[in-house]
Structures are given as C-alpha cells and as structure tokens.
C-alpha cells in the first residue's frame, strides 16, 4: 500500500510540474489520475482486509468490513445521482 501512495504523490507532483510548464490538458489528466488513485487506495485496503478476514474465518470483522464497503458504495452512488 505504501507503493500506491508513493505512486499517487508522484502523479500529483508530475501534474503540478506539467501545469507550471503550461502543458494544458495533459497536466489535468495526470492530476486527475493521481487524485482518483489516492481516493481509491482506502477502498483497496478494505478489499484486502476483507479477503484476509474471510481467510481467517473472522466473521465479525468480515461483517464490519462489508458494512463499511456498503456505506462507501451507497454514498458514491447517491453522490453520482445528485450530479
């Protein structure tokens, strides 16, 4: 997961540098990719945790993780409908 955060930071810095040199649309795309990746990292972490809890047959933490993922999915769906 640390590698993912590092990659996001690199994308954001690269987008900022491209914006300084007024590359235009490329800078916006790179920065958007960095932000999207940074936002998706916690969801990926939850998916890895879910897999780990299911392998250990830890039903309570599996249920909690599924609940948190459901809240995230429902919130994202509601926000996309409002736009």
Query: What's this model's pTM, rounded to 2 decimal places?
Result: 0.70
What would the pLDDT profile of 26-72 be if each residue is shown by its tens digit?
A: 888 989 998 998 889 989 999 999 999 999 999 999 999 999 999 99
Confidence of residue 83 (pLDDT cuts 50, 70, 90): low
Contacts of 34 (CB under 8 A, 6+ apart): 8, 9, 10, 11, 12, 14, 15
Q: Is the pLDDT of residue 1 over 70?
A: no
Confidence of residue 3 (pLDDT cuts 50, 70, 90): confident
Domain containing residue 75: 2-82
Report the alpha-carbon angle 38-12-51, nearest 5: 20
Count how many domains the chain has: 1
Q: What is the pLDDT of residue 52?
A: 95
């Amino acid at each position: 997961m640390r590698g993912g955060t590092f990659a996001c930071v690199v994308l954001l810095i690269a987008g900022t540098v491209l914006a300084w040199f007024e590359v235009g649309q490329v800078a916006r795309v790179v920065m958007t990719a960095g932000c999207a990746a940074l936002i998706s990292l916690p969801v990926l972490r939850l998916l890895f945790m879910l897999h780990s809890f299911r392998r250990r047959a830890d039903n309570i933490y599996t249920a909690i993780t599924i609940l948190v993922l459901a809240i995230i999915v429902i919130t994202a769906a509601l926000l996309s409908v409002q736009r």
